[in-house]
Structure 1
Amino acid sequence: MTVQELSRYLTLRKQIDEDKEIYENMCQKMGPASPSLSGMPHTPGVRDKVGDLAADLADLDAGIKELEAEAERVLPAIEEFCVSISDPRMRLIFRLRFVRCRSWAEIAGTLGRYYTEAGVCKMAYNYLKKIA
């Protein structure tokens, strides 16, 4: 398995998290707006801002569901690869990074004080080179 194949789930999860944050921010904007009491005439071309926002929310929600479906489709192959790794430490590194989407720094912290972010990353990439 290549780094790109392994990173696909990680990339999808990050995109899903970002899109969900955007979705939440957009939902907060759907509250009622205060009317403009300036007394000035309104501009032509009245728009339904709430309706436009609702349509954007629906599109974003559909996109999130597509990404989640793709992530669920990609995950089993990555989990199968991780299970096939015989070294328990390396298996843990790969599961934490590519299945649980942890950062290299978090993985190094989990493994203990003798491991660094760069060291753990290098271990994983060297393992992939070795099996290729």
Structure 2
Amino acid sequence: MTKKELSQLYYLNREIEEIQRRIAELEALATGCTVRITGLPKAQGLNDKIAEYVAEIADLKCLLDLDLKKCFFELNRLNRYINSIDDSQMRMILSLRYINGLPWEQVAASISYSLSGESVRKAHDRFLCKK
């Protein structure tokens, strides 16, 4: 498995966070809209902002649902791959990095006090080159 394939879960999670942020933003805009009760007729060409926000929120929620399903399948695929590795330390490195999303320094600290993030990254790179 390549580094790019291993990183897919990370990028899916970032996509999900971005969609969730956009939904929250649109929901805030939709609830912040007020209806004018002036008795005056509406001007021609004005859009119903709430309806636009609701439609976009519904579309984004569908995309979010799809990305969550992709995330679930990607997590299972990564777990199967990592569990198939014989070296327990490498399983731990890959799991901490690609499933937990930790930076190299935190991966190293979780494994051993004597390892640096750079040495763990190099061991990871050597392992992937062998595969």
TM bin (shorter chain): 0.7 to 0.9
Cα deviation, residue 62, structure 1: 0.7
Cα deviation, residue 35, structure 1: 7.0
State the partner residue of 2:73.
73
CA–CA distance in structure 2, aligned partners of residues 109 and 19 of structure 1: 32
**Alignment gaps of 5+ in structure 2:** none
Query: Residues 1-132 of structure 1: matches in 2 within 5 Å?
Result: 1-33=1-33, 44-131=44-131
Q: Could you tell me the TM-score, scaled by structure 1's length?
A: 0.80
* Counterpart AA for 1:12: L
Deviations 1:5-50 (A, max 9, x none): 21112211121122212222222222233678xxxx9753111111
CA–CA distance in structure 1, aligned partners of residues 73 and 10 of structure 2: 13
Distance 1:15 1:103, change over 3 A: farther
Indicate the percent of aligned positions where both proteins have the same amino acid: 24
Query: How many residues are treated as equivalent by the alignment?
Result: 127
CA–CA distance in structure 1, aligned partners of residues 120 and 18 of structure 2: 26
Distance 1:71 1:116, change over 3 A: same
* Counterpart AA for 2:32: P
Aligned CA RMSD, in angstroms, stands at 2.3
CA–CA distance in structure 2, aligned partners of residues 104 and 18 of structure 1: 24
Q: Could you tell me the TM-score, scaled by structure 2's length?
A: 0.81
More relative contact order, 1 or 2 (CA 8 Å, 6+ apart): 1
CA contact (8 A) 2:10 2:101 kept: yes
Distance 1:119 1:43, change over 3 A: farther
